[in-house]
Structure 1
């Protein structure tokens, strides 16, 4: 199976689906993480080269190929120019059997833009690609969620072994400039335990199924 994670920022591949990428890679699947945007905030600009290096190292640790678009779109355009972002991700999506990407109700507008671009690229009348949506701490869980609007409601859980958890935590530890409450390696492990407990397992990552073809 060809698996593609389409992410907004370096570290989203680890926070959102790092354990799943590690498991799928271990099972013999072809796993790729695509970064098609360039950060424009002051910290992101100052650390961009280091962040790309961390992205590549994290992907290698998880068993995934790191793909950085050769003409990345400025992240400020992600939500307002979805078709430009679509044009960057569509060729990669067309080769995938399973796409993992952001929950479209995230507080972060760049995450929403990526989700929209993937939604456009996976319209079923054009191509049938399975799509699952992941959560990002400090973004997915920060919405108002009034009456369930925009709330992340997982209906797919990927069970993880201790080695998958270790590699996800080690990958997150690489991103020293991105650590914040809820986003440290220790926080990552706690969240995996919580999601695992929801389904009677030790560790799990949670997803919402967006498209599934049988």
Structure 2
């Protein structure tokens, strides 16, 4: 059994980026934990109904996906900045030392949303081999509506180097995404089932399967 943790800034990132891969891990008997760095609060102007419905979505995804443990940092959404790092990194470190993940699925560093970027930087600070010897793999996933809207600079390009065949899990991935109904729209809105299928079809064609998810490998230790 492998210990896996998927990191999302906002609930739905994890399904968009690697929902099929997580389903595959769970079917193989791996333990999958989930770290969410932000939450919504009425103090930000969200209605109580929306705060409650978001919590219901998280719990339903946890149950239907088969997540072992959810870890929450509860930073207000759309609030993460460079100043957040000094307190955020120790919190991530504590979670990693408790969960001891071997495999980390992480947001792409150059996503358009600042919450994604700060989350990425906090997590990467907690992958040093001499402090976290249990970490063997770190992989960035692409998140529709954020990765493709990041600045198109050479140093920011998402370069897929690892692919997972999710043909068997595509329908379940889409069903899980439907739980986040308020985040979905109709094409050409980026977060649409049609766009999800288009991306997984393209990634699948790259490796000769029907549907796939793509990752950029940041660390792969084979001892």
Residue of structure 2 aligned with 1:198, choices 198, 206, 219: 206
Q: Secondary structure at the match of 2:83?
A: coil
Q: Which deviates the most, 92-101 or 32-41? A: 32-41
Q: Which deviates the most, 35-44 or 19-28? A: 35-44
Which residue is 1:157 aligned to? 163
Moved over 4 A (4+): 40-46
Residue of structure 1 aligned with 2:61, choices 58, 83, 90: 58
Q: 1:172 to 1:19 in 2, by over 3 A?
A: same
Q: Which deviates the most, 152-161 or 176-185? A: 176-185
Which residue is 1:34 aligned to? 35
> Which residues of structure 1 form unaligned runs of 5+?
none
Query: Partners of 2:85 and 2:48 in 1: how far apart?
Result: 22
Per the normalisation by structure 2, the TM-score is 0.86
Which residue is 1:21 aligned to? 22
Q: Which deviates the most, 191-200 or 87-96? A: 87-96
Tell me how many residue pairs correspond in the alignment: 211
Q: 1:123 to 1:192 in 2, by over 3 A?
A: same
Per the normalisation by structure 1, the TM-score is 0.90
Report Cα offsets for 1:54-101 as digits up to 9, x if no partner.
1221232222235142x5222313543113222222233231111111
Q: 1:91 to 1:67 in 2, by over 3 A?
A: same
Query: Partners of 2:13 and 2:216 in 1: how far apart?
Result: 16
Residue of structure 1 aligned with 2:183, choices 163, 166, 178: 178
Report Cα offsets for 1:88-120 as digits up to 9, x if no partner.
222332311111110111111000011001111
> Which residues of structure 2 form unaligned runs of 5+?
none
Which residue is 1:86 aligned to? 89
Aligned-residue RMSD, C-alpha = 2.0
Q: Is the 8 A contact 2:108 2:140 kept in 1?
A: yes
The Cα of 1:182 is off from its aligned counterpart by 2.0
Q: Is the 8 A contact 1:26 1:63 kept in 2?
A: no
Q: 1:23 to 1:107 in 2, by over 3 A?
A: same
